[in-house]
């Protein structure tokens, strides 16, 4: 078996678990029409696979992972969502992923638009949802190439560059996620992720400070070449 993220079982069960253990702290919405702000603790579930998709979300601060589980516990993380990103868009009326906060995270929940209204309505919000959907599709498609045809080192390099492009501050990337999350995103194991990072560090391509939760990109050119 691969990296089993040991959350108990199926969608129904985890929906129940969510009610028990997650701590959504609803606050007064900044403006009713614009959605309501909610804060989640590290690891808290924002929604579960199979939950009714009544809202879509925009990350205000922190970070979110959306993932799917196989029956035996293998997990695949579909995407990481950073501030400004919209997630939870669905065509049907159920969430096909679960979403969890990677750290203390604040999101804005917007009441969901039915698909029909999406096409019918012209508004900034509508446009944003269509754009977010297209972006999600593009990301998913390039992730398919990564998972289908790239080796471990290429995956790590591509991941670091992608993240750097989204949240780097002068070449330093502060990872909002654990090695397990990285592994489950890249279709690898935590050990392989660790070994690849060590190898990149030995080559002088990156630098990993003591606390291990940030990475300095020393040679983005080399990463680019690796990533393809």
Partner DNA sequence: CGTGTTATTGACTTCATTCAAATTAGGTGG
Partner DNA sequence: CCACCTAATTTGAATGAAGTCAATAACACG
Give the residue with the Cβ less far from its own copies, 13 or 25.
Answer: 13
The item of DNA, its own copies, none sharing an interface with residue 180, based on CB under 5 to 8 Å by kind, is: DNA
Report the alpha-carbon distance of residue 188 to residue 179 in Å, rounded: 10
Task: Select from 155, 152, 133, 151 the least CA-distant residue to 143.
Answer: 155
- Which helix (H) or strand (E) covers residue 86, if one does? strand 86-87
The residue among 61 and 131 lying less far from its own copies, judged by its C-beta, is 131
For the bound state, the minimum distance from the C-beta of residue 139 to its own copies, rounded and expressed in Å, comes to 9
Give which of 143, 173, 172 is closest to 67, Cα–Cα: 143
Q: Is 144 in the site for its own copies (CB under 8 A)?
A: yes
Q: Are 220 and 103 in contact (CB under 8 A)?
A: no
Q: Which stretch binds its own copies (CB under 8 A): 29-37, 67-75, 189-197, 214-222?
A: 67-75
Q: Give whichever of 126 and 172 is closer to its own copies, judged by the CB atom.
A: 126
The contacts of residue 116 (CB under 8 Å, 6+ apart) are none
Pattern of binders to DNA over 184-223, x per CB under 7 A?
---xxxxxxxxx-xx---------x-xxxx----------
Q: Is 211 in the site for its own copies (CB under 8 A)?
A: no
Distances (CA, A) of 5 to 47, 50, 178, 179, 221: 17, 18, 12, 12, 34
Report the alpha-carbon distance of residue 194 to residue 156 in Å, rounded. 10
Binding of DNA by 88 (CB under 7 A): no
Interface with its own copies (CB under 8 A): 2, 68, 70-71, 74-76, 78, 91, 96-97, 115-116, 118-122, 126-127, 130-131, 133-138, 140-141, 143-145, 147-150, 184-187, 228
């Amino acid at each position: 078996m691969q990296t089993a993220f040991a959350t108990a079982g199926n969608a129904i069960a985890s929906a129940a678990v969510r009610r028990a253990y997650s701590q959504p702290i609803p606050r007064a919405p900044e403006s009713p029409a614009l959605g309501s702000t909610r804060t989640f603790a590290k690891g808290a579930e924002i929604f579960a696979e199979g939950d009714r998709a009544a809202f879509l979300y925009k990350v205000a601060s922190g970070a979110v992972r959306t993932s799917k589980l196989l029956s035996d516990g293998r997990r695949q993380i579909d995407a990481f969502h950073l501030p400004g990103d919209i997630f939870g868009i669905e065509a049907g009326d159920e969430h096909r992923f679960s979403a969890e906060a990677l750290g203390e995270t604040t999101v804005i929940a917007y009441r969901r638009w039915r698909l029909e209204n999406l096409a019918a309505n012209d508004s900034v919000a509508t446009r944003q949802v269509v754009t977010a959907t297209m972006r999600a599709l593009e990301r998913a498609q390039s992730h398919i190439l990564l998972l289908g045809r790239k080796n471990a080192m290429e995956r790590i390099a591509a991941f670091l560059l992608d993240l750097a492009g989204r949240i780097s501050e002068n070449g330093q990337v502060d990872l909002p996620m654990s090695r397990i999350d990285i592994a489950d995103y890249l279709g690898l194991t935590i050990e392989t992720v660790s070994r690849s990072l060590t190898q990149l560090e030995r080559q002088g391509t990156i630098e990993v400070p003591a606390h291990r939760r940030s990475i300095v990109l020393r040679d983005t050119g080399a990463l680019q070449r690796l990533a393809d």
